[in-house]
Amino acid sequence: MNVITETPTVKTVRLGPAADAAALPFTFLPGQFLNVTFSIGGARMNRSYSISSSPTQRAYLDLTVKREPRGAVSRHIADLLKVGDELEAGGPVGRFTFTGTEANSIVLISGGVGITPMMSISRYLSEQSWPNDIFFIYACRSPADFIFAKEIAELERHNPWLHVTVVMEHPDGTDWQGLTGRLNTDVLSQAVPHIASRRIHMCGPPVMMEAVRSLLQELKVPAEQIKTEDFGTAAPPPGEGSNRFAAAATGPLVSFSKSSKSAKIHLDQTLLELSEELNIGIEFSCRVGTCGICKVQLTAGEVDMAIDDALDADDKVKGIVLACQAKPKGPVTVEA
Ligand SMILES: Cc1cc2nc3c(=O)[nH]c(=O)nc-3n(C[C@H](O)[C@H](O)[C@H](O)COP(=O)(O)OP(=O)(O)OC[C@H]3O[C@@H](n4cnc5c(N)ncnc54)[C@H](O)[C@@H]3O)c2cc1C
Ligand code: FES
């Protein structure tokens, strides 16, 4: 393992094959991610990280991680990982992929560290000499925070199909000559001709994703052409999760069969949240239905799930559900 500093708050962790192997032991699609597990302070913690390198690169794989000021795992990665360390990782997983066969052009809109899956896709398509338009649009706080700035300029120089637009929110005091402010409909429609007819991939901070979604709606882009990757929400600080549900639960009874524990659930509570109250120990990472770490077997009853991206058809047939999304419709039994 190697570590590359990209910006003051972002590092790339470069993972190589085992010492006796020439290539990575698995393949992946551009846009997929790994689920990485760390043991920190005696606790097992899972987090997902998009692969930022191209799948054609078989000698290494890059994860590019932003250090969150109070983040448990990203600080561990940024401050403590050293060259030569080994990582426990699962995957690759994820459906936020683009290989060039899905559409005859692609618009990649990202903000902040949401650039990582877009980088894998752009690197891959450029290496393949994909003969179609790639519109790469990036919203960034300041020039110092522009991840992969040099390489993107290089890719653009060599790939005539790659059209890069960068909007800098706070360029003050720098020599930034490009667009400033935030993404708006003028920037998007000038950067991408006929945007309403194109496939769009979007990844960034939740506020930015919400804003861009409205802009795309204004520009009449049909919702089914927009694919998004949600990097997840903050884990509730200790105590907050239980405060949210201070009153007595009035929802259906949930039985955790392996732990021999059961309790009524609150009407807006997920199986994962109830399991945390009862110390069941269901593992999780994203809490937004993407990573699949919280999969559990439902042996009785039915649940609603707002998002079930991490389940495949086979999981659904077997009655596997995502604990972070599952809200029971009636009494349920969970194998946990
Ligand atoms: C599919 C997918 C792909 C992803 N890809 C990437 C990627 O390529 N690069 C990347 O950097 N991240 C990526 N993420 C996000 C990543 O998985 C982690 O969520 C992120 O690194 C934060 O983890 P953490 O353990 O550092 O923060 P956590 O400890 O989980 O905290 C999350 C947030 O809450 C804040 N917080 C924590 N404790 C408190 C508190 N007590 N009070 C107030 N705020 C608090 C932290 O500052 C942080 O912002 C991805 C997520 C998903 C789901
Ligand atoms: S924690 Fe990621 S899908 Fe539930």
**Does residue 32 surpass a pLDDT of 70?**
yes
- Contact 73 CB / ligand 1 (< 6 Å): yes
**Both tokens assigned to 292:** 């699949």
Same domain assignment for residues 25 and 46: yes
Q: What integer best gives the mean pLDDT of the chain?
A: 94
**Does residue 131 surpass a pLDDT of 70?**
yes
Same domain assignment for residues 141 and 254: no
pLDDT band of 22, cuts 50, 70, 90: confident
- Contact 238 CB / ligand 1 (< 6 Å): no
Question: How many other CB atoms are found less than 10 A from the CB of residue 100?
Answer: 16
State mean pLDDT over 246-251. 85
Which of 4, 134, 135 lies closest to 60 in space, CA to CA? 4
Spatial distance between the Cα atoms of 336 and 258, rounded to a whole number of angstroms: 5
CATH number at residue 33: 2.40.30.10
Whether residue 323 lies inside any domain: the answer is: yes
Question: How many other CB atoms are found less than 10 A from the CB of residue 82?
Answer: 8
- Contact 110 CB / ligand 1 (< 6 Å): no
**Does residue 287 surpass a pLDDT of 70?**
yes
Domain boundary, last residue among 177, 201, 229? 229
Helices 149-158 and 115-127, axial angle in degrees (round to 10) = 30
pLDDT band of 240, cuts 50, 70, 90: low
Cα 204 to averaged position of ligand 2 atoms, centre (Å): 18
| SS3 state at 297 | strand
Whether residue 184 lies inside any domain: the answer is: yes
Same domain assignment for residues 77 and 115: no
Cα 68 to averaged position of ligand 1 atoms, centre (Å): 7
Same domain assignment for residues 218 and 245: no
List the alpha helices (DSSP H) in 221-279. Answer: 240-244, 271-277
Say which ligand is closest to the CA of 305: 2
- Contact 183 CB / ligand 1 (< 6 Å): no
Same domain assignment for residues 277 and 323: yes
Domain containing 81 equals: 2-93
Torsion of CA 100, 102, 103, 109, to 10 degrees: -80
Whether residue 197 lies inside any domain: the answer is: yes
Q: Is the dihedral of CA 313, 318, 319, 325 positive or negative?
A: negative
Residue 86 φ then ψ, to 5°: -105, 145
Quote the pLDDT of residue 243.
Answer: 61
Whether residue 282 lies inside any domain: the answer is: yes
CATH number at residue 273: 3.10.20.30
Q: What is the pLDDT of residues 315-335, one digit of tens each?
A: 999 999 999 999 999 999 999
**Does residue 168 surpass a pLDDT of 80?**
yes
Which of 243, 334, 236, 327 lies closest to 289 in space, CA to CA? 327
Spatial distance between the Cα atoms of 295 and 283, rounded to a whole number of angstroms: 9
Whether residue 99 lies inside any domain: the answer is: no
Cα 36 to averaged position of ligand 2 atoms, centre (Å): 13
Whether residue 54 lies inside any domain: the answer is: yes
Quote the pLDDT of residue 237.
Answer: 47
| SS3 state at 225 | helix
Same domain assignment for residues 276 and 297: yes
Residues 6+ apart with CB under 8 A from 91: 28, 32, 33, 34, 35
Same domain assignment for residues 150 and 169: yes
Quote the pLDDT of residue 56.
Answer: 97
Atom in ligand 2 nearest the alpha carbon of residue 292: 3
Cα 156 to averaged position of ligand 2 atoms, centre (Å): 36
Cα 74 to averaged position of ligand 1 atoms, centre (Å): 7
Quote the pLDDT of residue 217.
Answer: 98
Say which ligand is closest to the CA of 293: 2
Split into its structural domains, the chain has a count of 3
Domain boundary, last residue among 210, 229, 248? 229
Same domain assignment for residues 217 and 111: yes
**Does residue 93 surpass a pLDDT of 60?**
yes
> What percent of the chain stands above pLDDT 70?
97
Domain boundary, last residue among 181, 200, 229? 229
pLDDT band of 312, cuts 50, 70, 90: very high
Whether residue 146 lies inside any domain: the answer is: yes
Whether residue 148 lies inside any domain: the answer is: yes
**Does residue 233 surpass a pLDDT of 80?**
no
- Weakest-pLDDT range from 49-58, 82-91, 157-166, 202-211: 82-91
User: In terms of pLDDT, which residue wins out, 234 or 291?
Assistant: 291
